[in-house]
Amino acid sequence: MHNRLFCTIFFYKPQQIMTKRTVTVIFAVLMTALCASVNAVDFGTYFHDRTLRVDYLREGNAKSNTITLSAFVAKSGTWAGSLVHLIDPFDYGTFRIVVKDAATGTDIYTRTYNSLFQEYVATPTGRDSVALFQETVLVPYPKAKVKLCFQQRDEKQRFVTQKEVLFDPATAKVETRSAASKPVKLLYSGDSHKKLDVVIVADGYTRKDAKKMEQDMRTFAEQLVKMKPYKDHKADFNIWGVGTVSEDHGISNPKKGRRLNTAIGSSFDVMGIARYLMTYEVHRLHDAIGDAPYEQIIIMSNSEEYGGGAIYNFYANVVVSSATASVLPHEFGHTFAGLADEYIDEDISYEELHSTETEPLQPNITSLVAFDKKWKDLVEEGLPTPTPVSAANLNKIGAYEGGGYRKQGIYRPAIRCMMGTGGSFCAVCKRAINAMFKIYTE
């Protein structure tokens, strides 16, 4: 097949070529196809159709951090991810896991992600004070020896390997763990290899709350696929529910003096932000999920207080309240598609989460340093960038100053968007979400 492609390009008769431009286009298209074919990773060559969970600890501050392996855990059931898209085409995250074939050094799986540690080091406390964070990555289960390379971006946004771990499936100590409850199918559309598997995990529900928890899960599943463009992809979702039993009813809020014992350890006031709802107990979270197939995690927190939070390819945490319909699609935009917040919040203590000297990694904010690589193609001809906020531009894609919590230097694509002050998703966010679905469903 490859030889035939080359012959098509180099042995065409001159009279068959209409123009020089035609040759250029044919060459570019076929070479792109050839390179994609050559660089493709064959799943069956390197992996079993299972999942290896890697738990580790990240310790440090803004100056440096170290990684310590905690455990290898083998999940039963099949690998929930795509068998085709094994190399991350987006690289939105600050961190990256790279699986290399030990014999050849070939990259056979990569995924980028963010974590709570990344946000911690952007706070005043995180500049100097050392803290310990739990993190987990999932990779397909290797057939032979591989190198697990934990990478982080440097100041020029290049990935640098922090730690390299050799995993030999023949000799490695691999644990198996069973969750307390079995997953429930809330929405099932088919083969996990070609669907986006989302797991909803309950927190803050006691045994007396069992009926409420079941109903809340079904409501969450319905709300997740209610808004476009998620609604357009309803047939691409598998949504699972995992119940847990907490000692206490509700969710902790240290600022209000409420510290509760819950299954997942969710809490408000994370990073000193009153409405920021997350958990530091990442390993406990994955233990609770157990063998449910999952690529994205949503924690369903049993609280009527307004709040939520999400981190790209890490997890989302959303309260059960009248605000769920608007909070859930917003937070899922973070964890699933790598979207940034498009609003301004001067009370948030993050200092350098989005630099104005480099182009942000997120697809829906820009510093205009490399705007050509973002959504410049969606801006109508003649509309200036930066774009003034005005009634005439209310429904136009532009570059409006103010986003990523910063009042100046960071620009968002729309005056109003679900990732900002509310409403529907703008065209830029929709494009990013639609593109992300492809690597889960092909």
- Among the listed residues 132, 140, 128, the one whose alpha carbon sits nearest the alpha carbon of residue 48: 140
- Among the listed residues 285, 94, 93, 100, the one whose alpha carbon sits nearest the alpha carbon of residue 199: 285
pLDDT on residue 117: 97
Please measure the distance between the N-terminal and C-terminal CA atoms of the chain and give it in whole angstroms: 22
What's the order of all strands across the beta sheet hosting 184-187? 184-187, 237-242, 196-203, 296-301, 315-319, 308-311
- HSE toward the beta carbon, residue 110, CA cutoff 13 A: 22
Q: Where are the beta strands (DSSP E) in 182-288?
A: 184-187, 196-203, 237-242
CA distances from 112 to 40, 98, 429 (A): 18, 9, 19
22-62 pLDDT, tens per residue? 433 333 444 344 344 435 899 999 999 999 999 999 999 99
Structural element, H or E, at residue 221? helix 210-224
The CA distance from 379 to 334, in Å, is: 23
pLDDT on residue 40: 85
pLDDT on residue 401: 96
DSSP 340: P
261-280 pLDDT, tens per residue? 999 999 999 999 999 999 99
Residues 6+ apart with CB under 8 A from 134: 55, 56, 57, 58, 70, 280, 281, 282, 283
pLDDT on residue 109: 98
Give the burial class of 144: count Cβ atoms within 10 A of its Cβ; 0-12 exposed, 13-18 middle, 19 or more buried.
middle
191-205 pLDDT, tens per residue? 999 999 999 999 999
Relative to beta strand 296-301, strand 131-142 is: unpaired
**Tokens 């990779």 -> residue:** 139
DSSP 211: H
pLDDT band of residue 345 (cuts 50, 70, 90) is: confident
Q: How many residues does the chain have?
A: 442
pLDDT on residue 38: 38
pLDDT band of residue 347 (cuts 50, 70, 90) is: low
Query: What number of other Cβ atoms are within 10 A of residue 289's Cβ?
Result: 23
Query: What number of other Cβ atoms are within 10 A of residue 49's Cβ?
Result: 14
Tokens of 258: 């409420």
Tokens of 136: 């987990």
